[in-house]
Structure formats: C-alpha cells, structure tokens
Amino acid sequence: MNTRREFIQKISGSAIALSVLPGYLPAACTTLPNEAYNGPVLKVAILGLGNYANRVADAMVSCKKAKLTGVISGTPSKIKAWQTKFNIPEKNCYNYENYDAIKDNPDIDAVYVITPNALHSEEVIRVAKAGKQAICEKPMAINVKEGEEMIEACKKANVKLLVGYRMHFEPHTLEIIRLRNAGEFGKIKFFQGLSGFIIGDPNQWRLNPKLSGGGSMMDIGIYSVNGSRYMTGEDPIWVNAVETKNDPVKFVQGIDETIQFQLGFPSGAVASCLSTYSMNWLDRFFLDGTEGFAELYPATGYDPTQGRTNKGPLDFPFIPHQTIQMDEMAAIILEGKKPVLPVDGEEALKDLKIIEGIYKSAQSGRTVNLKL
C-alpha cells in the first residue's frame, strides 16, 4: 500500500553545505543530540496504534523531554506488542471504552491522538475532560465547527491543544523563514506548493468520507495549505480552486482526487498549489521574492528534507521530525516555550477554514473570500 511515507523521491548527488549558523540549530531543536538534559519529562500516551503512531513511538525513543508511557487502542494484540516493545506497564494501557480513567493516572501527562480524522474531535474532548494535555494529528478535525469545539473544550479544561505540525520544527524550514524575516529574499511575490502521491488500497480509511472528511486535501494537501502560510509569513484572504476527478470509482463522492488552488495574500503575494492522490513525486515548496528564492524538495516527507536558496544549498543534520516535534512540544507544555511557528489549535483552525474555502470554491466555481 502506498502511503505518505512512500511517495518521497530522494534527491541524489552531493551538495556543498552551508555553514551551520552558530546558535541557530539549538533554536530549531530544544536539545542537541550531544547535550545532556536533566529537566522534567512529558509522559505521553498514544491513542491509536496504526502505522504513523509506530513512527512517532520509534522516534520518541530518542527524545529527551518526552517519553512514551501509555497506549490506548481497540486492538488487544497491538497493546501487547507495544507493551513488549516499549516496556509499557499494564496499568498504563487502555481501550477506547475506558480511557477516561487516565484522569487518575499520574504516569500520563498528555495524549497524542493519531486516529482517522473524523474521530479527532470526540477523542480530544475526552482527553481534555480527563485533564490531560492534548496533542492531535492534523487535520485537527473534519470541519471548522468541530475544531472550534475542540479548542473550547481544552480551554475549559485548562489544558493545551497542540497539533502535529512536525515541519514547524524542521531546521531547513526554519532557516528559510529566518532568512525571509531578515529580508534576504526581498518582497515575497509567489509561493508554489506541490503535495501528492498515488494512494493505494481502495479500502483504507482515507478513502472513506465518513472517516476522512475528504480526500487528498484532508491528508497530503494540508501541507501545501499550511506551508503557503509559513513560507510567505502571511494568512490568505481569498482562494479559488478547481477539482479534477478521473477515477470516480476509487474516489467516491466526498473524496477529492486532485485539487488545484490559488491563494491571495494581503501583501499582493499569490500561491499556486496542487493536492492529489493520483500523482507521485509531488513534494516541493518554492518561494520567490524580488531579491532571491528558496526551495524545499523534498519539503514535507519523512525522509531528510533538502533545501536551497539562490545563494546555495542548505545542509542541516537530520534528526527524525517526530523526535524534534515531541521534544519541542514537551518544551511548550512544560516550559511555556513559544515556538517560531505556532502549533496550537488556533493555528490548525486557520487551515480548516482555508480547506473549507477550497472545497466551497471548487464546488461553486467562484473565488471565496477568507476570514481567518
């Protein structure tokens, strides 16, 4: 089965590395691999033990500020396998019926929800009511209304709601943002985001509208939606979109196959993006300004990100994105650290509003104004 993990085409060949800026990498990563850490550790349970959850758990083995301490699953065999692999005690294992009992478990500080999109809202709200910090995979919810309810529930419970925007901590990405903020690219005029792969198994939950809430836009397309914002440094004010569907049998009603969309920003900058489930090798961000450009390719895949600007290649050491993400999220929760790019519920709600605008535009054939 093709998944997001399999569509990345690695760029071959050598690159001339730019010098790592003194003090910069630590700003992108809470702790460097060779640094000791003796502070507080965020104790995390993962809810939903699918493929991506396994990737997160494996990456967390190298974390310094976050530790996997619990699991929540509806499949007993998965729980047993995770107990053995990650040394998780029986008292920290729950199913979908009884996990409200985490409220009384001091071994769990936060729960990372990694389940199909349509389940996020109910599960995050239950986590919040149990008094635990909530981390949720993206998209945060399947619509704006659910996203707002999640934010409100977490505020009411006085817990944080963080969303799995792992690229917000990726060093090449952050370096381009640093350079843009420093004026190295001049006035930003254009962004291009290409996000796509050929999806496999037609019976998977991503192709079930009741579980996914949509098609490619609710899976891979959100990377270009979110990337357009952090690469330009602006939120869009309008969108227009066109949907193309060549396989209505595989991509049933409510599951978009390919959507092209354009975004307009207050400065006059524009973005042109593509989200698809029917084309491989699409994982590229390009930012163009009056004085220079920046490119990420691969831009958002799980393998090492590669970047360059008009002045040459970027080269930062590779640490699994999820390792950096979980250490950074631990710092946000435990230390009140403010990340360069936000990963809270309000950030995720903006993406949901844009995606709703994209769908509305594709259906109506008209430009849709956005109010984020």
Alpha-carbon gap, residue 306 to 290, rounded angstroms: 23
Give every CB contact of residue 340 below 8 A, 6+ residues apart in sequence. Answer: 27, 28, 168, 174, 177
Strand 42-47, strand 66-72: pairing:
parallel
Q: HSE (CB half, 13 Å, CA atoms) of 298?
A: 21
DSSP string, 80-100: HHHHHHHT--GGGEE-TTTGG
Alpha-carbon gap, residue 51 to 48, rounded angstroms: 9
**Rounded (10°) CA dihedral 9, 140, 77, 126:** 170
| Angstrom distances, CA of residue 299 to CA of 19, 137, 248, 282 | 20, 18, 29, 9
250: its two tokens: 């595989």
Residue 87 gets the label, from left (phi > 0), alpha (psi -120 to 50) or beta, of left
Which residues are bridge partners to 134 per DSSP? Answer: 111, 161
Taking only Cα atoms into account, the Rg of the chain, rounded to an integer number of angstroms, comes to: 20
- List the beta strands (DSSP E) in 166-317: 188-196, 238-244, 258-264, 270-276, 282-289, 293-296, 307-309, 312-314
Give every CB contact of residue 215 below 8 A, 6+ residues apart in sequence. Answer: 206, 207, 209, 251, 254, 255, 256, 257, 277
- DSSP-derived secondary structure letter, 43: E
Nearest Cα to 263, choosing from 234, 284, 296, 289? 234
Residues marked active site are found at 138, 223
